[in-house]
Amino acid sequence: MNILILGGGGREHALAWAILQNPKCDRLIVAPGNAGIAEIAECATLDIEDGGAVATFAEENAVDFVVIGPEAPLANGVADRLKAAGMLCFGPSEEAARLESSKAFTKAVCDACGAPTAAYAHFTEAGAAKDYVRGKGAPIVVKADGLAAGKGVIVAETVDAAEAAIDEMFGGSFGGAGAEVVIEEFMAGEEASFFVLCDGETVLFLGTAQDHKRIGEGDTGPNTGGMGAYSPAPVMTDAVCARVLTEIVKPTVAEMARRGTPYRGVLYAGLMIEGGAPRLVEYNVRFGDPEAQVLMMRLGGQVLDLLLACAEGRLSEARVNWADDHAMTVVMAAKGYPGAYEKGAVIGGLDALPEDSAHMVFHAGTAERDGKVVAAGGRVLNVTARGASLDDAQGRAYGMIERIDWADAVYRRDIGWRAL
Ligand code: AMP
Ligand code: GLY
């Protein structure tokens, strides 16, 4: 079959790599793709947030299945548009994607279905928000309501810091995403990511991962899109996973169906685990980036069968075959990230690295210039490895990094420290 993946980051490189291992895939196009994806698939220029343009492109190229990687096209209704054109597509509708695009919506769904999450209040002006913060005290969490590329959340250690964050959000520093603000109770504990596929009815557990959101070693410094990840997450024992399914994910999926907006796609629950009890931090309506890289490394070609079963409403027949293995990915970022970062650094040594089921360098923000790979984004490479233990996977990933010729790369040397 002919498959189109929308997106151009490390997540989409990993999806493309896994899907290509499945013999059902005859032709793979990725839009827009990147320099690493271009080595394994066709790349196309396309406005992926324009559902009409995507549908026309898919028709012209006899595409049988569209896999939507990032959240922006989902929040823009691209899945709805493709479905209306009679196309098979992996990814939730615009209405269902509100589980990521509106924090206030997610909180209301949690209230309706009893899913445990932080206590919160929702504000449309700064004065009332500040009164609430003064009443509650710190630490407290201030969030822009809409999509803000992972940057619209401030964990304030003091009331002053919370008030400054409120001013900043209502002052427009997050654009439209900050027109409404959610203020939440601070949850202590260990964070983990939990992934399921959903076809509107059936929920199929896909796996767990943990990522490192902070730029600095020891999980310090500003938040980023994610500096590394590993799978499985040791904190997600069978007992915790069972509680996440029965207390959080299944009630949410049932509530979405009850509202007439069934959830179809991958549902990524960001969790806080304290004393074995899970609470929801947030939902995402797509695979995590870089969590997808470690999940794809472990799942391989079966991913295509699972995504198809999900899109076709056949998840009740589907099974995930897990090996008893571990994967780790280390993000190499450009100098300056997560602030203003340098572009154009030439990266050498990639051709000499092993590329097999245990070693892959997924490209996140790269471009090709005069036959060379150059840095073209904040997060640039995802150096990913698999092993019989997390230790093995870590050794392989850092062994590859040592052989990459890029002096100014920014990366953490401690990915996996909590688990090791
Ligand atoms: P979010 O975009 O909602 O995932 O938030 C980004 C990060 O902020 C999360 O991964 C957590 O590390 C942190 N965070 C968000 N909400 C809370 C909360 N209520 N309590 C503690 N930490 C939080
Ligand atoms: N790694 C966090 C995310 O994809 O949202």
CA distance 93 to 46: 20
Co-location of 306 and 199 in the same domain: yes
CATH code of residue 343: 3.90.600.10
CA distance 254 to 252: 5
- Note the pLDDT of residue 177: 59
Out of 99, 211, 283, mutate this one to test ligand 2's pocket (max ligand atoms within 8 Å of CB): namely: 211
- Residue 371 in any domain: the answer is yes
d(CA 135, ligand 2 centre) in Å:
32
CA distance 420 to 412: 15
Domain boundary among 185, 204, 223: 185
Co-location of 279 and 228 in the same domain: yes
d(CA 268, ligand 2 centre) in Å:
9
Co-location of 269 and 211 in the same domain: yes
Co-location of 296 and 349 in the same domain: no
**Ligand 2 pocket by Cβ (under 6 Å):** 150, 211, 226, 284, 288-289, 291
- Residue 101 in any domain: the answer is no
> Quick one: which ligand is closest to 139's CA?
1
- Note the pLDDT of residue 178: 59
* Alpha-carbon distances of 262 from 68, 110, 198, rounded to whole Å: 17, 15, 9
- Residue 40 in any domain: the answer is yes
> Quick one: which ligand is closest to 147's CA?
1
- Note the pLDDT of residue 175: 66
Indicate the number of domains in the chain: 4
Tokens 């938040």 belong to: 223
CA distance 367 to 374: 5
- Residue 249 per-residue DSSP state: I
Name the amino acid, one letter, at 77.
Answer: G
Co-location of 300 and 213 in the same domain: yes
Co-location of 139 and 200 in the same domain: no
CATH code of residue 74: 3.40.50.20
Query: In terms of residue numbers, what domain contains 336?
Result: 326-401
- Note the pLDDT of residue 222: 85
Over its length of 420 residues, how does the chain's per-residue pLDDT go in tens digits?
999 999 999 999 999 999 999 999 999 999 999 999 999 999 999 999 999 999 999 999 999 999 999 999 999 999 999 999 999 999 999 999 999 998 889 999 999 999 999 999 999 999 999 999 999 999 999 988 866 655 678 899 999 999 999 998 888 777 665 578 989 999 999 999 999 999 999 999 999 999 999 999 999 988 888 999 999 999 999 999 999 999 999 999 999 999 999 999 999 999 999 999 999 999 999 999 999 999 999 999 999 999 999 999 999 999 999 989 999 999 999 999 999 999 999 999 999 999 999 999 999 999 999 999 999 999 999 999 999 999 999 999 999 999 999 999 999 999 999 898
Co-location of 11 and 47 in the same domain: yes
- Residue 214 in any domain: the answer is yes
Co-location of 140 and 49 in the same domain: no
Domain boundary among 91, 106, 127: 91
Co-location of 176 and 194 in the same domain: no
CATH code of residue 276: 3.30.470.20
Domain boundary among 317, 336, 368: 317
Closest CA to 19 of 50, 43, 48, 40: 40
- Residue 103 in any domain: the answer is no
Rounded to the nearest 10 degrees, how much is the dihedral formed by the CA atoms of 242, 245, 247, 251?
A: -160
Is there a contact between 68 and 88 (Cβ–Cβ < 8 Å)? no
- Residue 29 in any domain: the answer is yes
Co-location of 7 and 82 in the same domain: yes
